[in-house]
């Protein structure tokens, strides 16, 4: 792929996806990248509108992410949480003092009639990010999980219960009627679109809410740009989080080919880790093997280049 005017669209969840999004942002002309964030994990907590994946992308692309935790901001302080605990407030969801500014200001603007897209766009510009950063929709979509305790809200399952309950089903409340963010649909229809990247996020929790939006899957099938997905499973395991556990609990095989099978109707190239060379079985699209673990900034950039080259090879 070449040419500064050609555009790349990345679909992403939080941590793992944000690492590749940052790699793409660094190796591409900065104005050519659009990153679409899952908002199925969004929730209201302490009266604040929190968009975890959008914020992880915001902080990561701005260079403000916390490399120790993988979420939240670097150089964070925790005075708020300590004071909240002393007042008897809920402390199961950790909100750093700096992170809180994002939620308070977003909540204020939403209450004033602004939408998530404009707020995210203002925030990324304020933080000096030249890539576009879009929520998948301005309408609420809420991922919920059926467990032995009944249907749980995503953060209730993921953070409060630390993803421990076995998952029997997932649903994306609101997805069927949510309008995809207009720029997302425009990007998919844009003749200048050179590539769609499905980042190595959890397919079931982070990417499927995006694909569940009306017309999104069809737009991806229809779009002329190749769709490249990166496996979130390396060496038969998820890098972080409960991805493999949930895939298994839902009756699938949590191997490095899972995402290729899962995205088969929209996929053109699949990128898996070289550690999984002998375990991929029968995948219906071309596969590129590379080192997919992104520990350093150089790893993120290298994987981004591999993703871009894989598309060029078609």
Q: Closest separation between CB of residue 180 and a second copy, Å?
A: 26
Rg of the chain taking only CA atoms, in angstroms: 19
Q: What is the largest CA-CA distance in the chain?
A: 59
- Applying CB under 8 A, among 27, 100, 163, 223 the residue interacting with a second copy is 100
What φ, ψ does residue 3 adopt, rounded to 5°? 95, 120
Return the residues of window 67-86 that contact a second copy according to CB under 8 A. Answer: 73, 75-77, 79-84, 86
Positive or negative CA dihedral for 192, 190, 305, 275? negative
Residue range at the interface with a second copy (CB under 8 A); choices 20-28, 34-42, 119-127, 264-272: 119-127
d(CA 262, CA 182): 25
Strands (E), 215-297: 227-230, 233-234, 237-238, 269-273, 287-290
User: Residues 20-59: x/- map of binding to a second copy (CB under 8 A)?
Assistant: --------------------------xxx-----------
Min dist. Cβ of residue 98 to a second copy (A): 4
Which of 127, 285, 293, 309: binder of a second copy (CB under 8 A)?
127
Q: Rounded to an integer, what distance in angstroms lies between the CA atom of residue 302 and that of residue 1?
A: 15
Least distance between a second copy and beta carbon 156 (Å):
17
Distance CA 248, CA 258 (A): 10
* Minimum separation from the CB atom of position 121 to a second copy (A): 12
Q: How far is the CB of 181 from a second copy (least distance, A)?
A: 20
Place of tokens 């009266």: 47
Closest CB 47 distance from a second copy, rounded Å: 4
Q: Using the rule CB under 8 A, is 111 a contact of a second copy?
A: yes
Q: Give the whole-angstrom CA distance, residue 208 versus residue 196.
A: 15
Report the alpha-carbon distance of residue 35 to residue 215 in Å, rounded: 18
- Which CB, 73 or 300, lies closer to a second copy? 73
Nearer to a second copy, 51 or 202 (CB): 51
* Among the listed residues 69, 108, 240, 298, the single contact to a second copy using CB under 8 A: 108
β strands within the chain, DSSP E: 7-12, 33-37, 43-45, 48-50, 132-135, 142-147, 150-153, 169-173, 193-198, 227-230, 233-234, 237-238, 269-273, 287-290
CB of 126 to a second copy, least distance (A): 5
**Candidate residues 5, 67, 68, 87; the one interacting with a second copy per rule CB under 8 A:** 87
Q: Pick the piece of the chain touching a second copy (CB under 8 A) from 123-131, 137-145, 176-184, 208-216.
A: 123-131
The closest alpha carbon to 56, from 133, 143, 151, 141, belongs to 133
If one asks whether residue 169 binds a second copy (CB under 8 A), the answer comes out as: no
Distances (CA, A) of 241 to 14, 44, 87: 11, 22, 31
Asked if 94 touches a second copy (CB under 8 A), the answer is: no
Return the number of the residue (108 or 264) whose C-beta is nearest a second copy: 108
Q: Which stretch binds a second copy (CB under 8 A): 2-10, 35-43, 104-112, 301-309?
A: 104-112
> Which residues are near a second copy by CB under 8 A?
46-48, 73, 75-77, 79-84, 86-89, 96-102, 104-105, 107-108, 111, 122-123, 126-127
């Amino acid at each position: 792929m070449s040419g500064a005017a050609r555009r790349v669209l990345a679909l992403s969840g939080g941590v793992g996806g944000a690492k590749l999004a940052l790699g793409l942002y660094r190796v591409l002309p900065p104005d050519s990248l659009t990153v679409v964030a899952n908002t199925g994990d969004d929730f209201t907590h302490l009266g604040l509108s929190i968009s975890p994946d959008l914020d992880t992308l915001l902080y990561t692309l701005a260079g403000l992410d916390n490399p120790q935790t993988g979420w939240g901001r670097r150089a964070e302080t925790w005075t708020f949480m300590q004071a909240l605990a002393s007042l008897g407030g809920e402390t199961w969801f950790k909100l750093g003092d700096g992170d809180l500014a994002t939620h308070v200001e977003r909540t204020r603007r939403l209450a004033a009639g602004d939408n998530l897209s404009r707020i995210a766009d203002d925030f990324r510009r304020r933080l000096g990010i030249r890539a576009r950063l879009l929520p998948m929709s301005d309408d609420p979509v809420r991922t919920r999980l059926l467990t032995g305790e009944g249907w749980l809200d995503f953060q209730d399952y993921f953070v409060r219960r630390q993803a421990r309950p076995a998952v029997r089903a997932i649903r994306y409340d609101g997805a069927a009627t949510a309008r995809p963010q207009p720029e997302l649909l425009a990007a998919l229809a844009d003749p200048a679109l050179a590539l769609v990247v499905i980042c190595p996020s959890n397919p079931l929790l982070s990417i499927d809410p995006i694909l569940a939006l009306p017309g999104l899957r069809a737009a991806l099938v229809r779009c002329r740009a190749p769709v490249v997905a990166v496996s979130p499973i390396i060496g038969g395991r998820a890098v972080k989080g409960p991805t493999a556990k949930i895939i298994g609990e839902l009756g699938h095989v949590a191997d490095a080919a899972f995402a290729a099978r899962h995205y088969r109707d929209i996929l053109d190239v699949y990128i898996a880790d070289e550690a999984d060379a002998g375990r991929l079985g029968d995948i219906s699209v071309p596969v590129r093997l590379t080192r997919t673990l992104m520990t350093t900034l150089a790893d993120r950039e290298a994987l981004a280049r591999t993703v871009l080259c894989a598309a060029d090879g078609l």
